[in-house]
A and B are shown apart, each in its own frame.
Chain A
């Protein structure tokens, strides 16, 4: 078991969206803490607010009220540009549909955060290639995404999320587009490569095939956290 300590502190997060003249509240004052060195799942039905929650934690959606502290930094007190820089340095993203750039090779896709941070192309691509090697797909490094299977594309996405060694990795339904076997393999790999004492991994999912891999599960219902534990609650 890896050593854990508080990495993310969520205080009274409220989020409202406007729908015409009405305001709809999707998060109702959420308080939570997420620890580093753990694989934390955010689980819930569609419309429970888990995607809104992960977006706010990742610094890409401003809350209506409340604060989020990531590794001691109140991220929504930062200016827009500083928040973008913070994300670039500290957060890795894994998307459900991978969102790889279709005209870049796997190694080039993996290198994108480094290029965005200003690293020279050759060096960044080389680092991307090393990351793919760690994820056991070095032989696919020069292929375009359309030449890869879904599982391989997700591994490229993981490489892109980890290449710049972020302290927080957020994943949105990483196994939703994969079959059971590929999904399991991707999750095993993610746990093996991403999990580290100084790193926090938060996964939004409703894929019950992978619940057993979680260190902690936060269940959301109607914009509130209704369960916090190592396993899913019994119904």
Chain B
């Protein structure tokens, strides 16, 4: 009877496409919004993951994320270096500044000062230029997303002079990094230069980046650093997670995306439920006739289940495909979506939501079919 059920459904094109639209719309909205949500909050961790060399981040105990950090005295660096198990430690400065482009535009930027000697803290992947260029006077290296934001498409910013907090800065390279949560332009420079670019208080060092010696885990060494210095030491993964948690706890993003996902589900249930009910109502005489002829309730259940399954599968496929096209085209065309990806959990979660939607609407539709007495076909 399955083929009869499928033909009953697909033959009524208006309702069939209505059902597909309902499921696809929900799947698209849910998966697309969840993907954006996950990628957006993961931006809270990009500042940490853009620097793969350091597996321990040391900071003032009140510091919370790469962008919410209280500067420490320079002596903190020596304290960390003196802890047994620390292979190396280097300073990092992260601070906000304003930059004026040659065209006169004003833009807020993040200045990242990395160790003068080793350049630890500088991202590895260069789009243009090289690490050594940072040794040139007033040199800064801009991130690729920031370059796309500051300059027109196709423009080569190498050699461009910027006015950075009233000082001259020259772009000498472009690094490929994932943008931060705020998508602010990032300018990397040597620590000594950064101190000049970003004048401020007595304490200037935002973080000490460190690495664990061979044979010790980052967690073990981080614990030792905290015990020995009183500073907060986090492994790379812990600190990345802190950045994500900070966004979750301090912004309305989870609630807003949660509402959108819930709406996607509710609208989907409403569209699919209503259309499915209309379809069943239009075919109730036929279902009644089938029951009179001798089709059992179990076979009727299988028929409605086959119809719901078809709608669910095709609608889900269309929705996920559209979401994938949206995300991939966004990632390739807009710097704001750079690095966006769809974690495997999202299609799975969307599938679970679609299954729930289909079960609810299928059950509602089935109820009226099962309640139909075969004798009603004679009335």
Whole-angstrom CA separation of A187 from B283 in the bound complex? 27
A48 located at the interface, meaning its Cβ lies under 8 Å from any Cβ of chain B in the complex: no
The reply to whether B10 and A60 form a contact with Cβ atoms under 8 Å apart is no
A87 located at the interface, meaning its Cβ lies under 8 Å from any Cβ of chain B in the complex: yes
Closest to A204 in B: B378
The reply to whether A103 and B10 form a contact with Cβ atoms under 8 Å apart is yes
Whole-angstrom CA separation of A160 from B374 in the bound complex? 17
Whole-angstrom CA separation of A51 from B95 in the bound complex? 87
CB 8 Å contact bits of A105-138 with B (1 = contact, 0 = none): 0001000110111000100000000000000000
Whole-angstrom CA separation of A85 from B297 in the bound complex? 12
Stretch from B24-32, B106-114, B284-292, B315-323 contacting the other chain: B284-292
A32 located at the interface, meaning its Cβ lies under 8 Å from any Cβ of chain B in the complex: no
Contact residue among A54, A55, A108, A116 (Cβ-Cβ distance under 8 Å from B294): A116
Chain B residues within 8 Å of chain A by Cβ, number: 27
Residues B350-379 near A (CB distance < 8 A): 373-375, 377-379
Stretch from B1-9, B96-104, B150-158 contacting the other chain: B1-9
The reply to whether B294 and A89 form a contact with Cβ atoms under 8 Å apart is yes
B11 located at the interface, meaning its Cβ lies under 8 Å from any Cβ of chain A in the complex: yes
A99 located at the interface, meaning its Cβ lies under 8 Å from any Cβ of chain B in the complex: yes
Contact residue among B4, B8, B299, B374 (Cβ-Cβ distance under 8 Å from A60): B374
The reply to whether A115 and B4 form a contact with Cβ atoms under 8 Å apart is yes
- Contact (A84, B7) CB under 8 Å given A99-B289, A103-B12: no
Write out the residue numbers on chain B whose beta carbons fall within 8 Å of the beta carbon of A113.
Answer: 293-294
Residues A135-177 near B (CB distance < 8 A): 160, 172
Whole-angstrom CA separation of A97 from B377 in the bound complex? 9
The reply to whether A104 and B4 form a contact with Cβ atoms under 8 Å apart is yes
The reply to whether B375 and A103 form a contact with Cβ atoms under 8 Å apart is no
Whole-angstrom CA separation of A160 from B295 in the bound complex? 14
Instruction: Write the nearest CB–CB distance from B278 to chain A, whole angstroms.
Output: 14
Write out the residue numbers on chain A whose beta carbons fall within 8 Å of the beta carbon of B7.
Answer: 101, 103-104, 108
The reply to whether B377 and A95 form a contact with Cβ atoms under 8 Å apart is yes
Chain A residues within 8 Å of chain B by Cβ, number: 34
B296 located at the interface, meaning its Cβ lies under 8 Å from any Cβ of chain A in the complex: yes
The reply to whether A60 and B1 form a contact with Cβ atoms under 8 Å apart is no
The reply to whether B12 and A51 form a contact with Cβ atoms under 8 Å apart is no
Contact residue among B11, B283, B293 (Cβ-Cβ distance under 8 Å from A93): B293
Contact residue among A55, A84, A91 (Cβ-Cβ distance under 8 Å from B378): A55
The reply to whether A112 and B293 form a contact with Cβ atoms under 8 Å apart is yes
Q: Which of B10, B288, B294, B295 has the most CB of A within 10 A?
A: B294
Closest to A86 in B: B294
Residues B1-47 near A (CB distance < 8 A): 1, 3-4, 7-8, 10-12
The reply to whether B378 and A172 form a contact with Cβ atoms under 8 Å apart is yes
- Contact (A101, B294) CB under 8 Å given A51-B378, A51-B379: no
The reply to whether A99 and B288 form a contact with Cβ atoms under 8 Å apart is yes
What are some 21 contacts across the A-B interface (CB < 8 A)? A55-B378, A58-B292, A60-B375, A87-B292, A93-B293, A95-B289, A95-B377, A96-B378, A99-B288, A99-B377, A100-B286, A101-B7, A102-B11, A104-B8, A108-B4, A112-B4, A113-B293, A113-B294, A116-B1, A117-B294, A121-B3
B interface residue numbers (CB < 8 A to A): 1, 3-4, 7-8, 10-12, 283, 285-286, 288-296, 299, 373-375, 377-379
Q: What are the 9 closest A-B residue pairs judged by CB atoms, nearest first?
A: A103-B11, A88-B294, A99-B289, A61-B375, A60-B374, A55-B375, A87-B294, A60-B375, A116-B295
Question: Assuming A51-B379, A84-B291, what are 13 further A-B pairs, CB within 8 angstroms?
Answer: A55-B375, A60-B374, A60-B378, A84-B294, A88-B294, A99-B285, A99-B288, A103-B12, A108-B7, A112-B290, A113-B293, A116-B290, A117-B294
